[in-house]
Amino acid sequence: MLLLFSRLELDDAQAEMAMSLCEEMKDWEAFRQIATHRFVLPIAYRHLRRLQPASLSAEQMAKMRHQVMSYYQHDLNVMVSLREVIQQLLRPLNIPYVTFKGPSLAARYYDEPAMRFSRDIDILVPRERMPELLALALAEGYRPLDPPELANNPISLAFVARYQKVVTLQSPRGIDVEFHSRIDNIGTVYDSRSLIDKAELMRVGNADVAVLPHDELFVYICWHHTKHFWSHLHWLVDIDAMQRHPSFDREGVLACADRHELKITVEACLKMAEVLSSPDFDFHCHTDARVDELLTLALEAMQGDIKLEHELANRKPTPDFAFHWQTDRRHRLRWQLLGWLRIFRPSYADYSEWPLPPRWHWLYRPLRPWRESVRRWSQSRH
């Protein structure tokens, strides 16, 4: 039933099947908890409010409504925080950026943006502008979360901008904001500066926000969610909402995917969404082994937890691709080389424990394996 509910609207066949499943529902409390865990309680509540199944008690309906109202409050807080990040940090410094996922996606493609739960805010900025952005944010009361010990001084901020691709701060309103300098692991899937240059302005609340073009965002969503095995059901709502939008152009999306060498990934995601939209979907109603593998692991991940997702991640050929058929041998070999070299990449913890002036930062690399071994040995003793 949650798979059926993971879309903005139900057609007649889907609604009929949903009502049939509602009649079989024995534990609505368990349903509410799973919908919460998979981030689709708001959209599930909307469908149930329209269907009004007799098996759903007024007490359970009220409990869902109360929880959904708390999500509405959180999402409003996220929207306001996004506006404040833009108006208080990015615009005063004239930093180019693009925001993706979360609140801007909800405002753009959902008829009711509050239906899309957003945990945090994701913003891509040029790496060279990261130190001044972080300095202003920390001065304005943002709290560092990753790295938690981030200090507001030029050397510290230059170090973290150079060696950490995502820095997470918590806004004064308590909303996590992830500042990205890259949205893939080694920069072979996406060129950050090119994405920022393609940004379009759209109205989110009462602020103009830079977002990705429709085709670019759809391709990114398919790639990103596949990387995480579609483990959250609200990602299915995302792909449904985007396909329903008047801007959706399937041929344009596939052409964009082809430019990023992601066409196979996008085609598999489109087929998966089509299969899951069927009221009585059949795992093997197609002949594409890639779609079968995607469906199998996605449905496994949707029912698992973060531990299972980590176990699945260990099978990935590279951190950027969940399946071998998504990429080629050239990319995998490049990651194997760079992955091996990453053991020499210093972390902010290295700098925090042993702060060196910039001219000596090269020492972190040769000493990194030894320092990491000492750190792990020390932790194991405690």
Please check whether residue 364 lies inside any domain of the structure.
yes
User: Quick check: is 27 in a domain?
Assistant: no
In a domain, 330, yes or no: no
Q: pTM here?
A: 0.91
Q: Does a structural domain hold residue 19? A: no
Orientation of helix 41-51 relative to helix 12-24, angle to 10°:
90
In a domain, 268, yes or no: yes
Q: Is 247 helix (H, G, I), strand (E, B) or coil?
A: coil
Quick check: 318 and 331 in contact, CB under 8 A?
yes
Quote the pLDDT of residue 206: 81
Domain residues for the domain of 318 are: 213-323
Ranges in the chain, pLDDT < 50: none
What is the model's pLDDT at position 381?
65
Domain termination residue (choose one: 212, 246, 266): 212
Based on the fold, state whether residues 103 and 208 are members of the same structural domain: yes
Same domain, 298 and 367: no
* Tens of pLDDT, residues 4-53: 999 999 999 999 999 999 999 999 999 999 999 999 999 999 999 999 99
- Per-residue pLDDT at 185: 83
Task: Count up the domains in the chain and report the number.
Answer: 3
pLDDT per residue as tens digits for the range 366-382: 888 776 676 666 666 65
The whole-angstrom separation of Cα 59 and Cα 353 is: 54
Gap between the Cα atoms of 206 and 208, Å rounded: 7
